[in-house]
């Protein structure tokens, strides 16, 4: 439960003075009690009354005041609702390191096959978009339910240099924002407006599945991009792909080329090996802070299992519902009950 107007809780500071006033009135009443010379003459004349009957009405009244104060603070609860408007963004690493042959025929081809199999397994109507990233990220195709188009898009991917995990998350957020008006676009510049953060635990029905075999070395910091996903309620599921031993590099004659980043990384179409080098710490952190999960895959079979372990069949829409009326109703009921019990047990 979250309070939209928590400053109203300051009214609870009136509770201690009310308790003191009640105690003072009880003492004042004793001062004006008729005095008898012998308590033995008074006791038989007084009706027996338990302490809880004497003080329960006041306790109920205080509880009613607390409920009414909470109601004025506008409490909201997060309610899970089933939805058929699921959007999944596949953010796939297409850096040259994906050409490693430690997972035959190479990581890139194994990732493509697993992604296509995942797409084919989704129920009709599931919206899936594809974002490819190397030194920068690009939305290759916006979310669509056309599996044939998505299969062709995955098969047409080419490789480039460097790895921009943060850019992949931001581009995926923009892809979701295009189909879901409740999700704000990413902030690329400091002048871009900041969205109102969602209530903690109120997730959007859209998710990002980010697959990479390396560590981010270009674009914005991944954790800063992940915080933007948190503000929008978008969960990010991360997959670290590749073996610790690495393998030879083989992207074939059409490996692709990224013109914006030259030289430097030493990833040729053949030749030296490439070790795994996955920044698992960052991938785990991205998944944890966004409400997703991290999967480690060191073979094509493990990657297949990671894709099919994704909770796409349980995706729900999380809505925030104000429950102040409930607290107001309880407070009113307790007030009436306190008044009735007071008149019955402590008549004037």
Q: What is the pLDDT of residue 19?
A: 75
Question: First-to-last CA distance in the chain?
Answer: 41
Instruction: Report the C-alpha gap between 95 and 162 in whole angstroms.
Output: 6
Instruction: Report the C-alpha gap between 267 and 250 in whole angstroms.
Output: 10
Residues of the chain with pLDDT under 50: 34, 36-37, 42, 254-276, 314
Neighbours of 59 (CB within 10 A): 14
- Residue 257 · residue 229 · CB < 8 Å: no
Interacting residues of 96 by C-beta distance below 8 A, sequence separation 6+: 134, 159, 160, 161, 249, 251, 255, 265, 267
Q: What is the pLDDT of residue 1?
A: 65
Residue with tokens 């090996």: 273
Q: What is the pLDDT of residue 247?
A: 67
**Three-state secondary-structure class, residue 131:** strand
Residue 129 CA, distance from chain mean position: 20
Per 3-state DSSP, the chain is made up of helix, strand and coil in percentages (nearest 5) of 45, 20, 35
Instruction: Report the C-alpha gap between 216 and 213 in whole angstroms.
Output: 10
Q: What is the pLDDT of residue 54?
A: 67
Burial classification of residue 143, based on how many CB atoms lie within 10 Å of its CB (0-12 exposed, 13-18 middle, 19 or more buried):
buried
- What are the chain's domains? 1-21+48-82+318-348 (no CATH), 84-187+196-255+270-314 (3.40.50.410)
At 102-159, the pLDDT tens digits run: 888 899 999 999 999 999 998 888 899 999 999 999 999 999 999 999 999 999 999 8
Instruction: Report the C-alpha gap between 183 and 290 in whole angstroms.
Output: 14
Alpha-carbon distances of 289 from 40, 157, 184, 202, rounded to whole Å: 71, 30, 18, 13
Interacting residues of 191 by C-beta distance below 8 A, sequence separation 6+: none
């Amino acid at each position: 439960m979250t309070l939209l107007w928590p400053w109203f809780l300051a009214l609870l500071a009136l509770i201690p003075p009310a308790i003191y006033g009640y105690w003072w009135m009880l003492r004042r009443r004793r001062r004006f009690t008729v005095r008898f010379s012998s308590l033995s003459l008074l006791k038989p004349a007084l009706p027996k009354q338990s302490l809880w009957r004497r003080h329960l009405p006041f306790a109920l009244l205080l509880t009613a005041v607390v409920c009414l104060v909470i109601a004025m603070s506008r409490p909201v609860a997060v309610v899970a609702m089933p939805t058929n408007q699921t959007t999944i963004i596949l953010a796939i690493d297409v850096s040259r390191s994906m050409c490693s042959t430690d997972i035959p025929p190479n990581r890139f081809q194994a990732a493509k096959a697993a992604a296509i199999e995942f797409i084919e397994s989704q129920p009709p109507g599931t919206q899936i978009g594809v974002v490819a990233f190397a030194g920068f990220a690009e939305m290759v195709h916006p979310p669509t339910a056309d599996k044939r188009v998505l299969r062709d898009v995955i098969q047409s991917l080419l490789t480039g240099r460097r790895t921009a995990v943060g850019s992949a998350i931001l581009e995926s957020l923009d892809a979701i924002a295009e189909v879901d008006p409740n999700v704000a676009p990413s902030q690329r510049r400091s002048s871009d407006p900041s969205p109102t953060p969602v209530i903690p635990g109120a997730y959007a029905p859209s998710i990002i599945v980010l697959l990479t075999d390396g560590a981010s070395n270009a674009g914005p910091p991944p954790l800063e991009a992940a915080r933007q996903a948190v503000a929008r309620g978008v969960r990010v599921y991360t997959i670290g792909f590749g073996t610790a031993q690495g393998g030879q590099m083989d992207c074939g004659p059409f490996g692709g080329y990224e013109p914006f980043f030259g030289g430097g990384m030493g990833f040729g179409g053949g030749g030296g090996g490439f070790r795994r080098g996955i920044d698992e710490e960052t991938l785990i952190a991205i998944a944890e802070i966004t409400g997703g999960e991290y999967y480690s895959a060191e073979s094509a079979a493990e990657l297949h299992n990671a894709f099919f372990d994704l909770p796409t069949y349980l995706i729900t829409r999380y809505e925030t519902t104000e429950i102040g009326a409930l607290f107001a109703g309880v407070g009113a009921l307790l007030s009436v009950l306190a008044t009735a019990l007071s008149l019955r047990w402590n008549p004037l």
